[in-house]
Chain A
């Protein structure tokens, strides 16, 4: 267990930890924005946009994340898109998670009482206004629980980026095992790091839930 504090191993571990957090945070942001947009597409009055939303969700939810990483890291450069590998990872992870965010939001929208939207419309609000000012804020409350499992899964999924040239916790684990340390000791520390991350995300959502809770 003590190996972590020798030979600059801690710096590697810390950098990996921070990189995992950075990657997860950026991907979460992208997933949230893109997912909300896609959910809006999926409930919009324009059939083309609905079809686009459905197509996106079908493709991205049913493709393994590893295949998606391959597609992004080796498929975008030939298209003339050149980014750092961190950005590639954010794109892959973000657009994958966006599909799940979209589905959670959509089912949340379905749980908002019909009367709310009807009342908003009778007040003369447009589709965009109804969605952003009346329906989504209410949906946000009911989707918090399923949303939290999506965002707890995100840092976990981010480990795959380690196999695609992002120096995060998984690649730190690889480097340690190449340096010949016991796999059990390595696993212990890496596991701790991930438990801390997922516990933090869970707490964050618990806090949000208590903030958004209303007496019904």
Chain B
């Protein structure tokens, strides 16, 4: 009987310490990810359209729900980033998603974000876990078998991220036998394979960047836009080689059979490219990593 009581007391004590440990004060929201301070260009605001008539099953469902489910990445600075302390999402992909949502009749508050890594995109889109996906999603024919793409809204090129003091890696041709990291389920693997490096794969690029910083791999390869984001976030430590060797068209990924939604998203991208929102969004996000805004790409409707 006594042992039992001791045990109960011990349990209570553990429970108490456990709850007390959570009570530490903190100040969320003090985000320091959007570097650049007061001089940073302001983000554009988008007018939410009210009478949207698109004959789309996915959109009808979203209307009924009152929420738009958008898939995005959360660990790519200046592209698709989530500040964990405040819960805010920022980056160029996020801005594209917001402008498209506005033209479909959804305010930013009505967007429910879902973080998905590269290899989860196709099942999530085709099974309807999300309404559409905006996150460094290269358009290619293999993917068009299971999803469809609106856009492209940005053109990137595959490049290499190395440590700042690395002088031996100057481009893809110098990769022979080197250890190169990239993400599972990305197009980057296929493009790099022909330069015969040793390939390391993780589900996110941030895991690769960690491996680069700890010296496990010699280079990280993927699209330059993603790499520039990391290079500027970890400023003096890393650099982008700057020899893009592919062309990646970023599109908004959505259900394969929903042509109406695809056209509506393409229209939205076109409209915001024309009224200057696209450039403003670029300057306030990717532009912060030092690259000048390119011409927005021409849409590829099908």
Q: Which of B58-66, B128-136, B198-206, B283-291 contacts A (4 or more CB under 8 A)?
A: B198-206
Against A, the Cβ 8 Å flags (1 = close, 0 = not) of B177-220 are 00000001100000000000000111100010011001110000
B142/A180 in contact, CB under 8 A: yes
What residue of chain B has the Cβ atom nearest to residue A85's Cβ?
B200
Determine which of A163, A165, A178, A180 lies in contact with B200 in the assembled complex, contact meaning CB atoms within 8 Å.
Answer: A165
Interface size class of B (residues with CB under 8 A): 10 to 19
What residue of chain B has the Cβ atom nearest to residue A166's Cβ?
B201
**Alpha-carbon separation in the docked complex, A174 to B185 (Å):** 8
Q: Does A8 contact B (CB under 8 A)?
A: no
Within 8 A of B (CB), among A57-89: 74, 77-78, 82, 85
B185/A178 in contact, CB under 8 A: yes
Q: For the complex formed, measure the closest distance between the CB of A151 and the CB atoms of chain B, giving whole angstroms.
A: 28
A contact residues around B123 at 8 Å (CB): 177
**Alpha-carbon separation in the docked complex, A78 to B207 (Å):** 14
Q: Does A205 contact B (CB under 8 A)?
A: no
**Alpha-carbon separation in the docked complex, A179 to B119 (Å):** 11
A165/B119 in contact, CB under 8 A: no
Q: Does B122 contact A (CB under 8 A)?
A: yes
A77/B216 in contact, CB under 8 A: yes
Determine which of B146, B201, B202 lies in contact with A180 in the assembled complex, contact meaning CB atoms within 8 Å.
Answer: B146
Against B, the Cβ 8 Å flags (1 = close, 0 = not) of A163-185 are 11101000100100111100000
B contact residues around A171 at 8 Å (CB): 184, 201
**Alpha-carbon separation in the docked complex, A163 to B214 (Å):** 19
**Alpha-carbon separation in the docked complex, A177 to B146 (Å):** 11
A82/B216 in contact, CB under 8 A: yes
Within 8 A of A (CB), among B130-152: 142, 145-146
**Alpha-carbon separation in the docked complex, A8 to B122 (Å):** 22
B contact residues around A163 at 8 Å (CB): 203
A contact residues around B202 at 8 Å (CB): 164-165
21 A–B contacts, CB within 8 A, in A order: A74-B207, A74-B210, A74-B214, A77-B211, A77-B215, A77-B216, A78-B214, A82-B215, A85-B200, A163-B203, A165-B201, A167-B201, A171-B184, A174-B119, A174-B184, A174-B185, A177-B123, A178-B122, A178-B185, A180-B142, A180-B146
> Which A residues contact B (CB, under 8 angstroms)?
74, 77-78, 82, 85, 163-165, 167, 171, 174, 177-180
> Which B residues contact A (CB, under 8 angstroms)?
119, 122-123, 142, 145-146, 184-185, 200-203, 207, 210-211, 214-216
* 16 extra A-B contacts, CB within 8 A, seeds A165-B201, A177-B122: A74-B210, A74-B214, A77-B216, A78-B214, A82-B215, A85-B200, A163-B203, A165-B200, A165-B202, A174-B184, A178-B119, A178-B122, A178-B185, A180-B122, A180-B142, A180-B145
